Amino acid sequence: MNLGVEDLYPTITDSDPELSEILGLEMQRQSGTLQLIASENFTSKAVLEATGSILTNKYAEGYPSKRYYGGNIYIDRVEDLARNRLKALFGAEHANVQPHAGANANAAAYLALLKPGATVLAMRLDQGGHLTHGSPVNFSGQYYRFVSYGVSAADGDSGERIDLEQMEEAARTHRPSLIVVGATAYPRIIDVEPVRAIADSIGATVLFDAAHVAGLIAGGVYPNPLGSSEGGANKGADVMTFTTHKTLRGPRGGAIVCTSQFAQAIDKAVFPGLQGGPLEHAIAAKAVAFQEASLPQFQTYQQNVVLNAKVLASALEQEGFRIVSGGTDTHLILVDLTRFDPNLSGKEAQEALDLAGITCNRNQIPYDTRSPFITSGLRFGTPAMTTTGMGADEMKLVATLIGRSLRHRDDEKYLQSIREEVGILCSKFPPPPFA
C-alpha cells in the first residue's frame, strides 16, 4: 500500500483534536473580543496562505545566488521579490528580509555597527524604549554599554516629548558609537534630523527602530526616517530596523533597510553572524505584505489608524483618564491611570479589561513610581480594530466600555455584561481572516 502525504500527515482537525480545539478557542477570542494591543494586527488571507505555504519545506542558508544548498532557484525569486518590494516601499538603497523578529533585526544591526562593549545612546526603557535598547536582562544591555535619554516632564500638551537637549548632553558626555531612536511606547512622531545633527557632531551612526511605525511610514502618515548615502549629506538614519507585523500588517518577523554604505555589514551580521537558515515561508508572506502596503488603500487604512487613535485618546480623556503627552500622532495611546483612580494599577486594569473582553497591555508611564510588572499606565493601539473596519463612532463606544469596566472592576457580573456588549460590537466587524 502506497501512503501519500495526506495519509501520513492528515489535517490538524483529524490528527490533533486537542490542538484543533485550542486553535478554535483562540479564533473565537480574536474575533469576539476587542484587540487593542498596539503591536498586534490582523493579516490578510493572502499573508496567512503564504505563511503556511510549502516554502516551509526548503532550506536556504545564504542569500539569493549565494546559497549553501541546492534547489533554491524559486526560493531566490521569492526572496528577491521581497527585497525589491521592500526597497521600493521605503526608498531604501538596501534591504534584508531574513531577520526572524524585530529583536533579531536589532541584534544584527548592533553586530554590524558595533564592537562588544561599545557605547550606545538610546531611549530610557521606562519612558518608551524597548528591551533591545539596553535592558540589563537583554543581550543588548549585557554586550554593550547603553546610556539613556528620556522625555521632558509632563507639562500640558507640550510635555513628555523626547528631550533633545538631554540627548545632546548625553551624546557629548559619553561619545556613543551609535544613537538609537524609535520606541515601543511613545505616541508622538520622532523627527530624525536633529538626532542626525547630534550624531554627526560626535561621529556616531544613527539607527531608527521603526518596529511600531513601519506601517505608518509606508502609508505616508509618518515621515520616512531613512537617509541616503548618495547625493550629499545624510539627513536621516543610516539603518532602520522594524517588525513586519504590527502596523505593517504582515507576518510575524523582522527586516532591515539601510544605506548602501552599510549593506555588506548588515547582510554578514544577519547571516552567518546571527542566524542560520531563513524562514522562506515567512519571507514569502513578507513579500505579500510589502505589496499590499504599496497600494493606495493601505494609505487610507493608515490615515484611519491615526484618526481612530486620536478619537480614542480624546474619548478616553472624556472618561477621566490622562493621556500621556496630551494626545497621539500615531497608532498608539499611552494612558496614565492615576488621574482616573490613584489606587488603580496597570496590572489590575489590564486583568479587569481582559474579563470584559477588551485586550490591551499594562505599561509604565514616564517617571512611573510603580514597577514594570505593576505599572501606572495602559497602552492602547488602533491597528487591529481599524483593520476590521471600525471607525470614530466605534472608538468613542470603546472608550465608554473601558471607563465603565474599570469603574466596576470588582464586579465580575458587570464585567461579563460588558463582554457581551463587546461581542455584539465585534460581530459587526469580523477580522479579515474570519470574515
Query: Which residues are annotated binding-site positions for (6S)-5,6,7,8-tetrahydrofolate?
Result: 125, 129-131, 371-373
Nearest to 213 by CA among 181, 238, 174, 246: 246
Q: Quick one: 117 exposed, middle or buried, by C-beta within 10 A (0-12, 13-18, 19+)? A: exposed
For the sheet with 377-381, list strands across it.
322-323, 332-336, 377-381, 361-363
Could you tell me if 80 and 284 are in contact, meaning their C-beta atoms sit under 8 angstroms apart?
A: no
Q: 62 forms bridges with which residues in the sheet?
A: 67
Q: For residues 140 and 138, what is the distance between their CA atoms, to the nearest angstrom?
A: 5
Catalytic residue among 43, 132, 243, 386: 243
The DSSP bridge pattern shows strands 94-96 and 254-258 to be: antiparallel
User: Which residue do the cell numbers 531604501 mark?
Assistant: 92
DSSP string, 149-179: E-BPPPBTBT-SSB-HHHHHHHHHHH--SEE
Catalytic residue among 126, 209, 292, 368: 209
Query: In degrees to the nearest 10, what's the CA dihedral of 311, 190, 301, 52?
Result: -120
Q: Which residues are annotated as a binding site?
A: 125, 129-131, 371-373
The reply to whether 246 belongs to the active site is yes
144 has catalytic annotation: no
**Catalytic residue from among 246, 362, 409, 419:** 246
Rounded-to-integer distance, Cα 285 and Cα 350, Å: 32
Give catalytic status of residue 67 as yes or no.
no
- Amino acid of residue 73: I
Q: Smallest Cα–Cα separation from 122: which of 138, 104, 101?
A: 138
Q: List Cα–Cα distances, 49 to 84, 97, 100, 119, 222, in angstroms.
A: 21, 18, 18, 43, 29
Residue 270 CB burial class (10 angstroms; 0-12, 13-18, ≥19): buried
Nearest residue to 376 via CA among 188, 154, 156, 174: 154
Catalytic residue among 40, 59, 347, 404: 59
- Catalytic residue of the set 40, 61, 319, 341: 61
Whether 309 and 269 have beta carbons less than 8 Å apart is answered as no
Nearest to 275, CA basis, from 85, 27, 414, 100: 100
243 noted as active-site residue: yes
In the residue annotation, 85 being an active-site residue is answered as no
Instruction: Indicate which residue of 58, 87, 145, 252 is catalytic.
Output: 252
Grouping H, G, I as helix, E, B as strand and the rest as coil, residue 267 is helix
Q: Report the catalytic residues.
A: 59, 61, 209, 243, 246, 252
